[in-house]
Structure 1
Amino acid sequence: MTDPTDAEAGGLEWLALPQPTTAALTGGEWRPSSVLVATDVPEFAAEAARLERELVALGIPRGDGAVIRLRTGEPIGEAFRLTVGDHVEVVAGAPVGVFRATRQLLHNLRAQGAVPHGRVQSAPAVEERGFHLDAARKYFPADWMVDLLHALADVGINSFQWHLSENEGFRIGSDAFPEIVSAQHVTRDEARRVADAAADLHIDLVPSLDMPGHLRHALAAHPEFRLAAAGGLETDHALDIANEDAVRFAQALIDDIAPLFPRSTSWNLGGDEFVDFARIHEYPALVTAARERYGADATGFDLLTAFVNRISAHLRSRGFDPRVWNDGMLRSSAVELDRETVLTWWTNWHAEMRPLADAIASAHGLVNFNDSLFYYVLGEKAGYEYPTSERIWGADWHPGLFPSLPGGVVQEIPAPYPAQLIGVAFSVWSDAEEAQTPQEVAAGIRRPLRAMAERAWNGGSSVTHDAFCTIDVQIGLYA
């Protein structure tokens, strides 16, 4: 890959994130005093109107000084072609492709008041570039989330996983179970507004309602659904997955929240940290139920996998593709995890967790959450350090580089990436909710998140870390 920021004959550089896949710059510049955004493609009309508003916000009024023409053409999905001369031509096959192309124009205009002449083309290396927000342990206002969505979309993030429930809180309004809702929460009307903003910005909103673990707050109001005591091991956070009424309670939680997300395509049901997995054989209720249902050699992992399969089927009946965290999966013997369930692969910190190779062999879709580089854990709890762009570049991270196995054994899917590798994600976890304000979180994640966005779109990056940091500063914040 050539360095697309290189300019010909001393002309401007291409200052945008993520960098385009290829660029051929010719040395001139497009510096409009007024702009007309034109299209004869009805599906592109909303993007044309959006771009005109954004240009006005940059001080470039509507007028006939220059033309940006939006055309339909060969690129599909998010891919686009952009030709800049006296006028600008955007060619894309879908509105989202137009949106990605026009971000490139806006970045250059924000950075240097002009766009270099030339021709650029771009297409993402992986389908999904995501962001996860733990808004369950910590309250994040809806207005802040809408602002965040604009910042995410500005650099090509196209998935927002909204973590709604945790041991410490349930922070979205509930019609069916108002008794479990935290005092500080996003109302149902506010949730709809967040969902509308995500859809407008071409971001798929992924609800994350963790079960059968991470339910302490909800189960405090419904102790009848808790897993039975197990000799001092913690169970107050865990659903009794052998209890049919408890399973129906879990399904009812989903049914109550699902109508708020009518355009969402995926749902993360959790499945992680249900119990102490290294001691799962010490939970009598799980051992007994597993053996009764699946045979003398069955374990709690079989019971967990069966629960995940059942909730996955329920989600599909509501129009969602199910996702689940990896740490407790692929560890059953009598029950096979539904092949269509996507694994959100965050860690391999324990030797008994299954390696990535098992997931690849079983053909499960994968989203790379790589906790060693992309976990922004408030208060730097559990041994995590805040992510930095320096570490991301130092690791030469690309979408196929997953967290290592114990002992530092590298787990990697080389490019060109198979369809099985759906994408990647950056995560904020609110373990110490008082450690940072929402504004401090937004400031802290900016550069490492943009580093992931650049390298996720391009399967790495052709620019140096110093050049990336320079571009980051020059394009500034979305306004």
Structure 2
Amino acid sequence: MFPARFGTLLATGLLLGAPAIAQQAGPPLGLVPLPRAVQTSAGTYALPQQVSVYAAGPAAQNVAELLKGFLAPLGKTVALTTNRQAAQIRLLPAAAGASGGPEAYQLVVDKSGVSITAAGGAGLFYGTQTLLQLLPAKAAAAARVPYVRIADAPAFGWRGGMLDVSRHFFPVSFVKKYIDFLAAYKLNTFHWHLTDDQGWRIEIKKYPKLTQVSAFRKQTLIGAQQTFKTPADFKYDGTPTGGFYTQDQVREVVAYAQKRYVTIVPEIEMPGHSVAVLAAYPELACKPGPYETWTMWGVIDDIVCPTEPTFKFFEDVLTEVCGLFPGPYVHIGGDEAPKTRWKESAAVQEIMKKEGYTDVEKVQGWFNRRIEAFLAGKGKKMVGWDEILEGGIDNKATVMSWRGEKGGIEAAQHGNDVVMTPAGYLYLDAGQNPRPHSPDEPLMISGYLPLEKVYGYNPLPKELTPAQQKHVLGPQANLWTEYITTPAKAEYMLFPRLLAVAEVAWTPAAQKNYAAFLPRMGQQFAYLDAHNINYRVPEPVGLDSLSMRQQGGQAVFTLRSLVPGARIHYTLDGHMPDETTELYTKPLAVPQGARLRVRAVTIAPNGRKSPPAELLVR
């Protein structure tokens, strides 16, 4: 049924790690992220309403239990069976010695049913996620799966997504949903940003005031702080806000993530971004208080003092944190720590004299190394933002490069492991509209990060040698929440850009192609709709000066939607298009010489509208 060369393709492309060309002989499958090797043939397998799953061993049984929940919305009921031949879905262990690692998998659909083979539970899980994308998005009488053979493995071991719950608190239900987002698209690391100046979000038994005081602020800034020019511009809502996760809730989230093969990396900020700590425990400051949980965004001079009581505090906190999170990493922040208070502190001057430092920045390196040694004693690896390089680190710390790639390049050259997360490519709180603070978009931080720029990112800098590139663990997308107040808005900022992140993290750069990605991405919108995800509907493509062609004194635009089944409506007078304005049915011809503002929107099948694409035609 399938060409014999598939076995060779698997051996060279998957087992040896070389990029294999995805081959398809039928209609496009619309898979995101793109697998390493795909072959299709004529025919489909009809998955019955009663599905038997063969699963031998704890890992396969865990995946089979998850599969029950995944297939239920499609009208399928799942039962486990010990009869491999009678099963419609078979979760199988890879042969002993098979290469590819625990996240690699093979998926085969033929007349005998569905077989997913992997060396580990993660690979079996990712095989089921691919299978779900081959099934209809909604319940259907005939759920047919195309005949296919897929051999797949990730390009990177760290495929991350960060959620900041400090600036705005999100309930456990959404944290689990965020983990679902990651897992569905084969991202395997959830960076949980739990503490910052604006709120402390994790219960620490030894320090109850962290959840009584530090977890709440008295009010929140109204509007975009970066647009304010004078103190008179700052207005507040006057509404107390906050929240925290109990240790039982943390354990619940950790267990939820583990079942989906997602590792959680908790972040406890130190020594900067710590004024919420000082609100509860002002004795940890260099300068007498009082302090309050901060109501603004950005960076504040007030940070903890690097004294023995501060070390005792963080060691106690980290002891409880390490007991809650079984993953290998703990993130200590380490970014944006002004030294204004440290320069004024007699205690810090004494540290500098004792350690022989002439630069106060070296004190933070000394601080970090003490914390790193403590974490190592707990069996944990320390992660920090790229500022931790400035005070000096050994080659055991992992660096998150966020201020561009420079820090990551320096760290990899030094022998440190690196997670690439540059703000200009992977900060998904940045705007999705080229017009800053567009009235057609919700309030957000400044910056413009379109889908194409996210997709085009390559986490392996050319400045690194092949040996140094091995220190790049992978990429991570971050979602900071200064202006993201609700789960719906978080989803709007994440999707569809998170789909591009997934392909950056999973698919080798040599196989990526943005033009080919777009139609595959388009097929994902039906699945996002089925899961009630509030994605941003992409604006129509083609209304730009580069796409314009001249014809008979007119500017002609050929528009298309990235959402299958969507309609495009437009106006020529600058008004917002909607269902009542002109429907786009053929290339749009606009007379030149007249000053016209053309606007066009996509109206998705579910009725939701995109922001407008617009162009001033002269």
TM-score between the two structures when normalised by the length of structure 1: 0.85
* Change over 3 Å in CA distance of 1:37–1:200 after alignment to 2: same
In 2: Cα distance, 1:318 partner to 1:301 partner: 27
Aligned residue in 2 for 1:406: none
Identity %: 24
Instruction: Name the count of aligned residue pairs.
Output: 444
Q: Which runs of 5+ in 2 are unaligned?
A: 1-18, 80-84, 217-242, 289-298, 431-442, 532-618
What is the match of residue 456 of structure 1? 505
Matched AA of 2:425:
L
Distance 2:197 2:285 in 1: 13
Matching residue's letter, 1:40: A
2:414 counterpart residue number = 362
Query: How far does residue 420 in structure 1 lie from its aligned partner after superposition?
Result: 0.8
Alignment partners' CA distance in 2, 1:253 and 1:25: 53
Q: Which amino acid aligns with 2:320?
A: D
Cross-structure match for 2:72: 56
1:107-126 aligned at under 5 Å gives the runs 107-111=133-137, 113-126=143-156
CA distance in 2, matches of 1:414, 1:58: 48
How far is 1:61 from its partner? Answer: 3.3
CA distance in 1 between counterparts of 2:210 and 2:146 reads 55
Q: For residue 236 of structure 1, report the CA deviation from its aligned partner.
A: 5.4
User: What TM-score do you get using the length of structure 2 for normalisation?
Assistant: 0.67
CA distance in structure 1 between the aligned counterparts of 2:466 and 2:110, rounded to whole angstroms: 34
Q: Is contact 1:137–1:166 with CA below 8 Å preserved after alignment?
A: yes
Cα separation, partners in 2 of 1:2 and 1:365, compared to 1, 3 Å: closer
Shift of 1:145: 0.7
Structure 2 residue identity aligned to 1:456? A
CA radius of gyration, larger in = 2
What SS is found at the alignment partner of 2:496?
A: helix
Per the TM alignment, residue 18 of structure 1 is displaced from its structure 2 partner at its CA by 1.3
Match of 1:398 among 455, 458, 462: 458
Q: Secondary structure at the match of 2:159?
A: strand
Query: Does residue 474 of structure 2 align to residue 423 of structure 1?
Result: yes
Alignment partner of 1:89 out of 115, 134, 145: 115
2:518 is paired with a residue of what secondary structure?
helix
Take 2:353 and 2:381, find their aligned partners in 1: how far apart are those partners?
Answer: 30
Answering whether residue 324 of structure 2 is matched by residue 260 of structure 1, we say yes
CA, structure 1 residues 138+412, in 2 after alignment: closer, same or farther (shift >3 Å)? farther
Asked if the contact 1:17–1:471 (Cα under 8 Å) also holds between the matched residues in 2, the reply is no
In structure 1, give the amino acid aligned to 2:120.
Answer: A
Deviation by residue 1:253-281 (Cα, 9 ceiling, x = unmatched): 222333222x22211011111116xx899
Instruction: Quote how far apart the aligned CAs of 1:302 are.
Output: 1.6
In structure 1, the gaps of 5 or more residues are 402-410
Deviations 1:222-254 (A, max 9, x none): 22211349xxxx87531111x111221122222
Alignment of 1:252-291 (within 5 A): 252-261=316-325, 263-275=326-338, 283=344, 285=346, 288-289=349-350, 291=352
Judging by fraction of residues, say which structure has more helix. 1
CA-CA distance at 1:468 after TM superposition: 3.6
Cα distance, 1:356 vs. partner?
3.7
Contact 1:399-1:459 within 8 A present in 2 as well: no
Contact persistence 2:386–2:407 (CA under 8 A): no
Matched, 1:224 2:277: no
1:371-393 CA-partner distances (Å, limit 9, x unpaired): 11211338433x434x4323223
In structure 2, do the counterparts of structure 1 residues 358 and 148 end up closer, same or farther at CA, with 3 Å as the change threshold?
Answer: closer
CA contact (8 A) 1:400 1:417 kept: no
Aligned-residue offset at 1:116: 2.2
Distance 1:119 1:237, change over 3 A: same
Q: Distance in 1 between matches of 2:379 and 2:262?
A: 17
> Greater relative contact order: 1 or 2 (C-alpha under 8 angstroms, separation 6 or more)?
1
Aligned counterparts of 1:477 and 1:414: Cα–Cα separation in 2: 43
- Contact persistence 1:30–1:85 (CA under 8 A): yes
Find 1:30's aligned residue among 45, 50, 62: 45
Q: Which amino acid aligns with 2:45?
A: W
SS in 2 for 1:127: coil
Name the residue aligned to 1:292.
353
Residue 375 (structure 1) aligned with residue 427 (structure 2): yes
Paired residue secondary structure (2:389): coil
Does the 8 Å CA contact 1:226/1:236 hold for their aligned counterparts?
no
